């Protein structure tokens, strides 16, 4: 598939309304067979600095554009994404590997944030607060200023629109550095942003050395906010780098999601829920089930039912409509999954279905292992691949303790038909998000984010724009 023929294809950076190439480049390859797709610019430090200065100039105009005009432009952008949904998804599948049906779904999901914030643009209400003194307390909500974003490869479109749409709606300009594995989806989306009428300098996409760009973004005084989605390790590093300039931060970091399946669960619903949360994007999502805890009375039946579903998954080229699981993003990702499987089997877990032995390329066969325990690597680390480890538990207190025994706190899932238990467990889980009787929780209307080492801040929902706004307290004195 030659994606360079698609009208939305672009391999240059978007800076201040201009498409910029550079002598030095980064290669982009297809994770399916490692074939070369194209090259994108490896921008110099001076070019990144200049992009920030240009964005700051655009910022002075954009913050004064009327909210309903910002809303109209965002709506145009949403419409264009949906009109080009198939082409954008094809680019995503070729550079990222996920099945086309999932890529099509991600474009709709990414677009839904633009639609949501096109509506929220008109609703950044301030406040008037009653005061005991002879004064009036007013609260203005104002755009924070120039923002920067650094995004991962696993959701090459949605992780960008979740940041850019609220920033633009709030009156902020933004510079995005997409993951080096998946810059083409970002650049295609940027091409549509230009067509939608987003003015020059308001939304910029730069590519290059992540370390250098990260250093410039975090140190630069003109950048008032950094929003990062990626690993906890890099998020913590960027947080430390941002300290000297006291930047506002949003961090969407790693997860280690538990799934709690209680005896009262509807078994087929729980099995489907685990399939949805575990194997989407070949297990490479931050909200993926990482540990599956099943209560003892239903344990064997649950494992048998899940086995049937896992065996039916088809591995292959994401562009093939039959494919359920594409290649992983790179060899390093495959090695990590293999390490987790080997560690579990070495420490006494048993293989139910899948292959523990090495495969060539970026392939990883969906694998189900039972009798997993808390001392195994997969209980502690995010696997980020198609490996489903099943643990057995006896009591609610025991499974809550095991579920919370992690530095992470992003997503969690519970399957139960007991209403009181659902409330108790939802309260007891130390996570930013809890799915009850579902494996699919992402929604533009909901506040997405984590606690503990899974991050700071929320994306989406009525709270999402606050991440890009500052409150200004205005005291009107002596009014009597
Ligand atoms: P990553 O290695 O942290 O990379 C994420 C982004 O950070 C990429 O753009 C990368 O650029 C950049 N980066 C890497 N090193 C950097 C540095 N020293 N300074 C500045 N930027 C740097 O994470 P990943 O492996 O791509 O993504 C997987 C992780 O993201 C998982 O832990 C997953 O759970 C998490 N995630 C979280 C959420 C959420 O909402 N909480 C959503 C999706 C993913 P290059 O590509 O150029 O190296």
The rounded Å distance from CA 136 to ligand 1 centre is 45
* Whole-angstrom distance, CA of residue 196 vs CA of residue 46: 29
Q: Which atom of ligand 1 is nearest to the CA of 252?
A: 41
Residue 359: is its pLDDT beyond 80?
no
Please report the pLDDT score of residue 1 as a whole number.
84
pTM summary value = 0.97
Q: Which residue's alpha carbon is at the smallest distance from atom 13 of ligand 1?
A: 210
The rounded Å distance from CA 292 to ligand 1 centre is 25
Q: Which atom of ligand 1 is nearest to the CA of 241?
A: 19
* Whole-angstrom distance, CA of residue 357 vs CA of residue 466: 48
Please report the pLDDT score of residue 91 as a whole number.
98
The rounded Å distance from CA 186 to ligand 1 centre is 15
Residue whose tokens read 């724009």:
465
Please report the pLDDT score of residue 284 as a whole number.
98
The rounded Å distance from CA 152 to ligand 1 centre is 4
> Which three-class secondary structure string do you get for the chain?
CCHHHCCCCCCCEEECCEEECCCCEEEEECCCCCCEEEEEECCCHHHHHHHHHHHHHHHHHHCCCCHHHHHHHHHHHHHHHHHCHHHHHHHHHHHHCCCHHHHHHHHHHHHHHHHHHHHHCCCCCCEEECCCCCCEEEEEEEECCCEEEECCCCCCCHHHHHHHHHHHHHCCCEEEECCCCCHHHHHHHHHHHHHHCCCCCCEEECCCCHHHHHHHHHHCCCCCEEEEECCHHHHHHHHHHHHHHCCEEEEECCCCEEEEECCCCCHHHHHHHHHHHHHHHHHCCCCCEEEEEEEHHHHHHHHHHHHHHHHCCCECCCCCCCCCECCCCCHHHHHHHHHHHHHHHHCCCEEEECCCCCCCCCCCCCEEEEEECCCCHHHHCCCCCCEEEEEEECCHHHHHHHHHCCCEECEEEEECCCHHHHHHHHHHCCCCEEEECCCCCCCCCCCECCEECCEECCECCCCHHHHHEEEEEEEECCCC
Residue 354: is its pLDDT beyond 60?
yes
The rounded Å distance from CA 145 to ligand 1 centre is 24
The CA–CA distances, whole Å, from 240 to 64, 98, 176, 216, 248 equal: 32, 33, 20, 13, 12
Residue 380: is its pLDDT beyond 60?
yes
* Whole-angstrom distance, CA of residue 437 vs CA of residue 269: 7
Q: Which residue's alpha carbon is at the smallest distance from atom 39 of ligand 1?
A: 252
The rounded Å distance from CA 153 to ligand 1 centre is 7
Mean pLDDT, all residues of the chain: 97
Residue 343: pLDDT band by 50, 70, 90 thresholds? very high
Substitution candidate for ligand 1 out of 31, 152, 283, 432 with most atoms within 8 A of CB: 152
Please report the pLDDT score of residue 335 as a whole number.
94
Residue 357: pLDDT band by 50, 70, 90 thresholds? low
Closest CA to 259 of 374, 414, 394, 154: 414
Q: How many helices (H) and strands (E) does the chain have?
A: 14, 22
* Residue 2 CB neighbours (<10 A): 8
The CA–CA distances, whole Å, from 133 to 128, 129, 138, 249, 355 equal: 14, 11, 13, 35, 72
Please report the pLDDT score of residue 270 as a whole number.
98
Q: Which of 115, 120, 252, 467 is catalytic?
A: 252
Q: Is 412:429 a contact under the CB 8 Å cutoff? A: yes
> Once rounded to an integer, what is the mean pLDDT over residues 58-67?
98
Please report the pLDDT score of residue 358 as a whole number.
62
Q: Which atom of ligand 1 is nearest to the CA of 233?
A: 3
Substitution candidate for ligand 1 out of 162, 230, 238, 459 with most atoms within 8 A of CB: 230
Residue whose tokens read 């939802």:
426
Q: Which atom of ligand 1 is nearest to the CA of 459?
A: 40
Residue 295: is its pLDDT beyond 90?
yes
Per residue in 202-227, pLDDT (tens digit) is 999 999 999 999 999 999 999 999 99
Residues with Cβ within 8 Å of 461's Cβ and at least 6 positions away in sequence, in order, are: 444, 445, 446, 447, 448
Q: Which of 147, 173, 286, 378 is catalytic?
A: 286
Q: Which atom of ligand 1 is nearest to the CA of 234?
A: 3
Q: Is 106 a catalytic residue?
A: no
- Ligand 1 site, CB within 6 A: 150-155, 159, 177, 179-181, 210-211, 214, 229-231, 234, 237-238, 252-255, 286, 382, 410, 450, 455
Residue percentage of the chain with pLDDT more than 70: 99
Angle at 300 between CA 297 and CA 301, to 5 degrees: 90
Residue 305: is its pLDDT beyond 60?
yes
Please report the pLDDT score of residue 356 as a whole number.
54
Substitution candidate for ligand 1 out of 231, 238, 460 with most atoms within 8 A of CB: 231
Substitution candidate for ligand 1 out of 183, 210, 216, 412 with most atoms within 8 A of CB: 210
Per residue in 439-479, pLDDT (tens digit) is 999 999 999 999 999 999 999 999 999 999 999 999 999 88
Distance separating the N- and C-terminal Cα atoms of the chain? 73
Least confident segment among 7-11, 108-112, 134-138, 403-407: 134-138
Please report the pLDDT score of residue 153 as a whole number.
98
Residue 83: is its pLDDT beyond 80?
yes
* Residue 271 CB neighbours (<10 A): 24
Q: Which atom of ligand 1 is nearest to the CA of 232?
A: 32
Q: Which atom of ligand 1 is nearest to the CA of 155?
A: 43
Q: Is 475 a catalytic residue?
A: no
Substitution candidate for ligand 1 out of 48, 232, 233, 234 with most atoms within 8 A of CB: 234
**Residue 51 burial by CB count (10 A; 0-12/13-18/19+): exposed, middle or buried?**
buried
The rounded Å distance from CA 233 to ligand 1 centre is 9
Residue whose tokens read 């950044």:
124
> Once rounded to an integer, what is the mean pLDDT over residues 415-420?
97
> Once rounded to an integer, what is the mean pLDDT over residues 146-152?
98
* Whole-angstrom distance, CA of residue 154 vs CA of residue 162: 14
Q: Which residue's alpha carbon is at the smallest distance from atom 18 of ligand 1?
A: 211
The rounded Å distance from CA 151 to ligand 1 centre is 6
* Whole-angstrom distance, CA of residue 434 vs CA of residue 450: 11
The rounded Å distance from CA 150 to ligand 1 centre is 8
């Amino acid at each position: 598939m030659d994606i360079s023929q698609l009208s939305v294809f672009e391999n240059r950076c978007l800076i201040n309304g201009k498409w910029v190439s550079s002598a030095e480049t980064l290669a982009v390859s297809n994770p399916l067979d490692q074939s070369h797709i194209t090259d994108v610019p490896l921008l110099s430090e001076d070019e990144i600095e200049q992009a920030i200065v240009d964005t700051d100039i655009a910022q002075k105009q954009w913050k004064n554009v009327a909210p309903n005009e910002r809303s109209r432009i965002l709506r145009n952008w949403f419409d264009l994404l949906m009109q080009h949904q198939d082409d954008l998804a094809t680019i995503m599948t070729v550079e990222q590997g996920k099945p086309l049906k999932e890529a099509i779904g991600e474009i709709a999901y990414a677009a839904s944030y633009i639609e949501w914030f096109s509506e929220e643009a008109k609703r950044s209400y301030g406040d008037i607060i009653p005061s005991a003194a002879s004064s009036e307390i007013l609260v203005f909500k104002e755009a924070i200023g120039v923002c920067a974003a650094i995004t991962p490869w696993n959701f090459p479109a949605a992780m960008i629109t979740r940041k850019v749409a609220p920033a633009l709606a709030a009156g902020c300009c933004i510079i995005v550095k997409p993951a080096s594995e998946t810059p083409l989806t970002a650049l295609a989306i940027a091409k549509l942003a230009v067509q939608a009428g987003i003015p020059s300098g308001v939304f910029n996409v730069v590519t290059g050395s992540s370390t250098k760009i990260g250093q410039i973004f975090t140190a630069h005084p003109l950048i008032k906010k950094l929003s990062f989605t990626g690993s906890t390790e890099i998020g913590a590093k960027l947080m430390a780098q941002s300290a000297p300039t006291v930047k506002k931060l949003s961090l969407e970091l790693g997860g280690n999601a538990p799934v709690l399946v209680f005896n009262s669960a509807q078994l087929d619903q729980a099995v489907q829920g685990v399939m949805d949360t575990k194997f989407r994007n070949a297990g490479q999502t931050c909200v993926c089930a990482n540990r599956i805890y099943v209560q003892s009375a239903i344990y064997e039946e649950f494992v048998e039912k899940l086995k049937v579903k896992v065996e039916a998954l088809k591995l292959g080229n994401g562009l093939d409509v039959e494919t359920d699981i594409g290649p992983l993003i790179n060899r390093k990702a495959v090695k990590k999954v293999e390490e987790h499987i080997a560690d579990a089997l070495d420490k006494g877990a048993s293989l139910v279905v899948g292959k523990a032995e090495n495969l060539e390329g970026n392939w990883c066969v969906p694998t189900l292992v039972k009798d997993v325990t808390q001392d195994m690597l997969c209980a502690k680390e995010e696997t980020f691949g198609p490996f489903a480890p099943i643990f057995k538990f006896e009591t609610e207190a025991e499974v809550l303790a095991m579920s919370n025994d992690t530095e992470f706190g992003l997503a969690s899932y519970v399957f139960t038909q007991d209403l009181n238990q659902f409330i108790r467990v939802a309260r007891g889980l130390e996570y930013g998000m809890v799915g009850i009787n579902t494996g699919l929780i992402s929604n533009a209307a909901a506040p997405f984010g984590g606690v503990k080492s899974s991050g700071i801040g929320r994306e989406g929902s009525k709270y999402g724009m606050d991440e890009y706004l500052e409150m200004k307290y205005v005291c009107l004195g002596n009014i009597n």
